[in-house]
Structure 1
Amino acid sequence: MPIRVLPEQLIHQIAAGEVIERPASVIKELIENSLDAGSKRVEVEIEEGGVKLCRIRDDGKGIERDELALALSRHATSKITTIDDLERVATLGFRGEALPSIASISRMRLVSRAAGSPQAYEIASDNGNLSEAAPAAHPFGTTIEVRDLFFNVPARRKFLRAERTETQHITRMIERLALSCFGTAFSLTVGRKVVADYPIANTQIERERRVAAIVGDEFMANALFVEHESAGCKLSGWLCQPTYARAQPDLQHFYLNGRMLRDRLISSAIRLGYRDVMFSGRQPAFVLFMEMDPTQVDVNAHPAKLEVRFRDGRHVHDFLFRTVERVLRDTYAGASTPAPAPASINTFMPAANAGVVWPARGPVQYENRSFAGGQSSLSLRVAEPAMVPFAVSGSAEASMAQSLPSEAPPLGFAIAQLHGIYILSQAPEGLILVDMHAAHERTTYERMKAALGDGGVGSQPLLVPLSISVSQAEADALEEHAPMLRQAGLDIERSGPAGIHVRALPAFLKAKDIDALIARIGADLVANGTSRGVEEALNEVLGTIACHGAVRAHRNLTVPEMNALLREMERTVRSDQCNHGRPTWTFVSMSDLDRMFLRGR
């Protein structure tokens, strides 16, 4: 066919195919416009999964009469005027494509009354044909009705799912948008029935209630609040403990400058922060908000604006990774609100949305972790199974001979051992159960890592250097980062365009594993400019040693030994989980026990 200019209507429909995937996409685009207009309340009403009707009403600043037709024209926007504005976009929408694209595949009616205007006006679009602006009755703000979506694009309409499925997609979309803007109230009406209503949340407890209403009470019961700012980046929100890990990434909500994202760099950084405390293959849960200079991020990299490009992706990756790792690192067993009770106990907890107020776990406080119960410590010598693995001071035994003091340590004092597996500890507020193997595994692992950090990684020279073939790009990256690798105990040098000689390797590693390790490090360096391959390999070795050296099940411990383990847990970072992500302890309150046995009823 000869080259020719496409008809205007077809251009609009092609643009709509890039932006509008389903009714939920319409809801997203229109609500983002409402938020950009400064709305304090957004009301959404749908019928038949949004295919028959999507109505969005807001109380924003509105649109002037003379601008109504422009609002439905391609590339017409009030949010940018020059290329400089595009490089520092601070609004959710900016390209001026959403309204005309939606209008080209539906029957749309737009009614708006601008702030300070004595009269509202409406304009309609049917299959892209605009009517004249006419007076209408409407409060300050804007209402947009989208009817018969995809009526003129039957091929797209055939790909829509059942009404229930499309309604669920819209519900999830509104939930994600409600998480992004606590200063705006949201409501959703399905077939004249209000199914969601989120009031404005200005205070911290109101924000937590909104988050719990959307992602669940159990999420908030396991959440750690984080707030950190460094090097031009600020991160706040809630990270869930590793024991609340999920099989799917269904509870991962991340917002950059108020914009919800699904970005692989961000997901990779957060997962890396969980690497030492979570089961392989499990997914962390979080609701996080990041703020940074808009000039450092390109938000025009994806048609639906769900992905971005960072000017310095490595800096963003390291900021997120270090922040998450530090929050999880500084969680000591018993340092904050006790872990949630087991599922059998949770049966007695209040139902969701029943006005539950969660104790704020808050940013972890750095403190001198010493208690009246004595300064007991654990021995790291774990080779001989018959030896006592705990060194205990006399004051710990003396404290158990007395009644439980008011200044008891967070994990209380041991009173018994159950089946040679669990330690039962009495605390002022209830009962604490500790998996002794998992707890000892974590404390041993962290002490071994600290010992490595103090003296550096020991290096083992090789009698005969190992020759390894890599790609030329990997060889260049390995040669450039040779000083960093030498600090980790790996001494390499370039032996050719695509060859590497290994002259020394970390003492914990075996020479037979070095080929795979070098290939992994080289690939990481080429892809990301950095690698934690050596560190991860060392940590895996240390974790294996700690697991095999930790006290085994069915090993009978004395009360002083059990108390020594509890005190060590209270001083050990990440001691809420073992090296594999299993919980090391849990808490059952006196009120839970009273409800279990119907006391006071």
Structure 2
Amino acid sequence: MPKIQRLSTRLANQIAAGEVVERPASVVKEVLENSLDAGATRVDVDVESGGVKLIRIRDNGNGIDPDDLPLAMARHATSKITSLEDLEAVGSLGFRGEALASIGSVSRLTLTSNASEQGSEGSSAACEGRDMEVQVKPAPHPQGTTVEVRDLFFNTPARRKFLRTEKTEFNHLEEVVKRLALSRFDVAFSLRHNGRGIHQLKAGTGQVEQQRRVATVCGPAFMDQAIYIENAASGFKLWGWVGLPTFSRSQADLQYFFVNGRVIRDKLIAHAVKQAYRDVLYHGRHPAFVLYLEVDPAQVDVNVHPTKHEVRFRDGRSVHNFIFSSLHRALADVRPTADNPADPLPANMLSTGDGMAINTQTGEISAQGGLAWGAGQGSAVTDAPLQTQPGGGFGSRFAPNTVAPAQGSAQLAAYQQLHPQLPTQGSAEDVPPLGYALAQLKGIYILAENVAGLVLVDMHAAHERITYERLKTARNEEGIRSQPLLVPQPIAVSQREVQVASENEDLFKRLGLSVGVAGEEALVIREIPVALRDSDVEQLLRDVLADLIEFGSSERVEAHMDEILSTMACHGSVRANRRLTIPEMNALLRDMEETERAGQCNHGRPTWTQMRLDELDKLFLRGR
């Protein structure tokens, strides 16, 4: 064995660079985080050849004093922490003091900065990988810092061989800029590649400016299909935008999660989000979201990964439960609401659907160009729930004579006789979100019209969701019924699993499981939920224990029971080719408006869609 010797500074920095600097995107991430920590309100990024040839990042932050420039490029030199107490509650993005030293060891690095608010007298420090000697000289520069990185990996050819094409490397680099732009709405970002402007993101702290930036980074389609959430409890705050289940992705490429402004990838958070979408997302699809979690920095350990992409929570179970419950509640509240676009007609006008409109006060009919169905007051609705009858029919929620008598002139009354399906009076605010049923198409779809235009409803999928939610509600109200096993079932497990089972005995009881300790490495199942009597309970228990060990909670039992209820709801729902009356169709629409998660069936498929009036006009080239 050779004698122990101290590594040279150059070799130590290159080893650190192997952890920190993976590709040009890694350099951009580290430098941008330093700029944000320095209080910059504007950051300009200019790259060439995907960042391999040149990366230049300029900010207007606090800057660095000339005497500190050589130290800024040394290993383990930082102004962000000074003691162990600071490390246990890190509030900055960077803190290790390795970034610039690692970058300088594998590139030609130049750091130009000015810490003075007045004047443009700055200083420049440069170093190259071969000697790591820092040279400082005067250089004009406004307040702030410019970091210039040239010829990345010029002295490590083996590392350079692993780089991808220019386009691929720039895509990774652009993604880093997008993530940090989403983390700080109050900072302006610009990105140029080979002299061409790619992004120009203005700063803004208002919700409109925030939505504009999210739409720029994630695409306008995401904002059109996302809901804003905000929830605070138990020292946590979660806010941001989550995509509707119908706006799912084939890959997890539109998922941004920030903890105290730091973008992270964490298995615990991914599991909580996945569980929240479990009941509404189509199999094999991934949700889209931009979420921000604010928590006491002392409750988060960010010193667990060299690139700081991962964190560790002091109380992971509480974080998991908070994120899950917040998203689960928000997604459950997604249902057809009255937030439809306002009717283009005045409140006292009722469109006829044939290009004409009636004044509900005078009865006067006038032409309305390309405008279609307008607003009206809904029919009086009883509180009786929609129920399937023995023959498979619906119990109507509409009494035979619930339509209010017509008001206005004889002309209006005559029109109502010709169009009995339309409401007789009212305003756009009184029209239900899904409107009123017009007809049934091929025994599968319900056609309805609301203020915005045409509504298409998948009859079976909608009724399936309604039935499913009612079955779950009944189960939750009555509790999970259990049945004892004729012969208790022993299971061989590890000591850790026995410990977890003992600590979560109350949880198992709530899930309908009676699990006892039979030895240091053995458990015994005495009772199981009635609904799971035909399931592989041993494997289910092992999966639950694995979740409890890794995430601190588990939804597997509920998930298995929900699968059974979903099957029951599917078989108990109205089938295709079943003819419904207008009152039955209206009853289904009203129940959809009151049912949680009514936008998707039990399998994650959409239950209804809206075709706006302008979309229909565009389809038929009206107004051209």
TM over 0.5: yes
User: What corresponds to 2:197 in structure 1?
Assistant: 194
- Aligned counterpart for 1:233 among listed residues 233, 236, 241: 236
Distance 2:504 2:93 in 1: 40
Change over 3 Å in CA distance of 1:4–1:335 after alignment to 2: farther
Q: CA offset at residue 517 of structure 1?
A: 2.5
How do 1:184-263 residues align onto structure 2 when only pairs under 5 Å count? Answer: 184-263=187-266
Change over 3 Å in CA distance of 1:111–1:477 after alignment to 2: closer
Change over 3 Å in CA distance of 1:74–1:472 after alignment to 2: closer
Say whether the 8 Å CA contact 1:103–1:125 is kept in structure 2: yes
User: What corresponds to 1:358 in structure 2?
Assistant: none
Change over 3 Å in CA distance of 1:64–1:480 after alignment to 2: closer
Residue by residue, what CA displacement relative to the aligned partner does 1:177-236 show, whole Å, maximum 9, x if unpaired? 111111111111111111111111222111111111111111011000011111111111
Distance 1:80 1:44 in 2: 27
Residue by residue, what CA displacement relative to the aligned partner does 1:14-51 show, whole Å, maximum 9, x if unpaired? 11111000011001111111111111111111111111
Please say if 1:581 is aligned against 2:604. yes
What is the letter of the counterpart of residue 505 of structure 1? I
Q: CA offset at residue 85 of structure 1?
A: 0.8
User: What corresponds to 2:35 in structure 1?
Assistant: 34
Distance 1:266 1:388 in 2: 44
Please say if 1:111 is aligned against 2:112. yes
Distance 1:104 1:117 in 2: 33
- Aligned counterpart for 1:440 among listed residues 463, 475, 481: 463
Say whether the 8 Å CA contact 2:226–2:244 is kept in structure 1: yes
Distance 1:519 1:163 in 2: 47
Say whether the 8 Å CA contact 1:372–1:409 is kept in structure 2: no
User: What corresponds to 1:350 in structure 2?
Assistant: none
Residue by residue, what CA displacement relative to the aligned partner does 1:386-418 show, whole Å, maximum 9, x if unpaired? 331334231686376453642111111101011
Residue by residue, what CA displacement relative to the aligned partner does 1:261-295 show, whole Å, maximum 9, x if unpaired? 01111111111111111122211100111111100
- Aligned counterpart for 1:518 among listed residues 494, 519, 541: 541
User: What corresponds to 1:599 in structure 2?
Assistant: 622
Change over 3 Å in CA distance of 1:97–1:206 after alignment to 2: same
Structure 2: tracts of 5 or more residues without a match = 342-376, 405-419
**Alignment partner of 1:468: what SS?**
strand
User: What corresponds to 1:303 in structure 2?
Assistant: 306
Q: CA offset at residue 456 of structure 1?
A: 1.2
Residue by residue, what CA displacement relative to the aligned partner does 1:478-510 show, whole Å, maximum 9, x if unpaired? 344333322333334334444444443222222
What is the letter of the counterpart of residue 22 of structure 1? R
User: What corresponds to 1:387 in structure 2?
Assistant: 392
Q: CA offset at residue 379 of structure 1?
A: 4.3
User: What corresponds to 1:450 in structure 2?
Assistant: 473
What is the letter of the counterpart of residue 244 of structure 2? Q
Q: CA offset at residue 375 of structure 1?
A: 2.7
Distance 2:494 2:33 in 1: 47
User: What corresponds to 1:173 in structure 2?
Assistant: 176
User: What corresponds to 1:354 in structure 2?
Assistant: none
Distance 2:35 2:255 in 1: 24
User: What corresponds to 1:283 in structure 2?
Assistant: 286
- Aligned counterpart for 2:127 among listed residues 125, 135, 143: 125
User: What corresponds to 1:420 in structure 2?
Assistant: 443
Stretch of structure 1 that moved more, 28-37 or 451-460: 451-460
User: What corresponds to 2:71 in structure 1?
Assistant: 70
**Alignment partner of 1:123: what SS?**
strand
Distance 2:145 2:338 in 1: 50
- Aligned counterpart for 1:403 among listed residues 406, 423, 428: 423
Stretch of structure 1 that moved more, 418-427 or 529-538: 529-538
Number of residue pairs aligned between Structure 1 and Structure 2: 567
- Aligned counterpart for 2:487 among listed residues 457, 465, 476: 465
Change over 3 Å in CA distance of 1:484–1:101 after alignment to 2: closer
How do 1:500-539 residues align onto structure 2 when only pairs under 5 Å count? Answer: 500-511=523-534, 513-539=536-562
Structure 1: tracts of 5 or more residues without a match = 339-369
- Aligned counterpart for 1:293 among listed residues 291, 296, 308: 296
- Aligned counterpart for 1:145 among listed residues 136, 145, 148: 148
Change over 3 Å in CA distance of 1:20–1:112 after alignment to 2: same
Change over 3 Å in CA distance of 1:526–1:85 after alignment to 2: closer
Change over 3 Å in CA distance of 1:10–1:179 after alignment to 2: same
Change over 3 Å in CA distance of 1:402–1:201 after alignment to 2: same
Change over 3 Å in CA distance of 1:476–1:144 after alignment to 2: closer
Residue by residue, what CA displacement relative to the aligned partner does 1:353-375 show, whole Å, maximum 9, x if unpaired? xxxxxxxxxxxxxxxxx975413
Change over 3 Å in CA distance of 1:335–1:247 after alignment to 2: farther
Alignment RMSD (CA, Å): 2.0
Please say if 1:375 is aligned against 2:382. yes
What is the letter of the counterpart of residue 504 of structure 1? E
Say whether the 8 Å CA contact 2:617–2:623 is kept in structure 1: yes
Q: CA offset at residue 150 of structure 1?
A: 0.6
Change over 3 Å in CA distance of 1:452–1:126 after alignment to 2: same
**Alignment partner of 2:536: what SS?**
helix
**Alignment partner of 1:244: what SS?**
coil
What is the letter of the counterpart of residue 285 of structure 1? A
Residue by residue, what CA displacement relative to the aligned partner does 1:417-443 show, whole Å, maximum 9, x if unpaired? 111111111112211111111110111
Q: CA offset at residue 317 of structure 1?
A: 0.7
Distance 1:521 1:224 in 2: 31
User: What corresponds to 2:587 in structure 1?
Assistant: 564
Residue by residue, what CA displacement relative to the aligned partner does 1:43-87 show, whole Å, maximum 9, x if unpaired? 111111111110001111111111111111111111111111111
Say whether the 8 Å CA contact 1:375–1:396 is kept in structure 2: no
User: What corresponds to 2:270 in structure 1?
Assistant: 267
- Aligned counterpart for 1:328 among listed residues 314, 326, 331: 331
Q: CA offset at residue 460 of structure 1?
A: 2.9
Say whether the 8 Å CA contact 2:378–2:423 is kept in structure 1: no
Say whether the 8 Å CA contact 1:475–1:500 is kept in structure 2: yes
Distance 2:536 2:135 in 1: 74
Distance 2:53 2:507 in 1: 61
Change over 3 Å in CA distance of 1:70–1:500 after alignment to 2: closer
**Alignment partner of 2:7: what SS?**
coil
Change over 3 Å in CA distance of 1:221–1:373 after alignment to 2: farther
Residue by residue, what CA displacement relative to the aligned partner does 1:527-547 show, whole Å, maximum 9, x if unpaired? 344332222221111111001
Taking only the aligned residue pairs, the percentage that are identical comes to: 49
How do 1:10-21 residues align onto structure 2 when only pairs under 5 Å count? Answer: 10-21=11-22
How do 1:337-356 residues align onto structure 2 when only pairs under 5 Å count? Answer: none
User: What corresponds to 1:590 in structure 2?
Assistant: 613
Distance 2:250 2:401 in 1: 41
What is the letter of the counterpart of residue 475 of structure 2? L
Say whether the 8 Å CA contact 2:386–2:587 is kept in structure 1: no
Say whether the 8 Å CA contact 1:262–1:307 is kept in structure 2: yes
Query: Which structure has the larger Rg?
Result: 2
Say whether the 8 Å CA contact 1:396–1:560 is kept in structure 2: no
Q: If the length of structure 1 is used for normalisation, what is the TM-score?
A: 0.90
Say whether the 8 Å CA contact 1:378–1:389 is kept in structure 2: no
Say whether the 8 Å CA contact 1:72–1:103 is kept in structure 2: yes
Change over 3 Å in CA distance of 1:83–1:481 after alignment to 2: closer
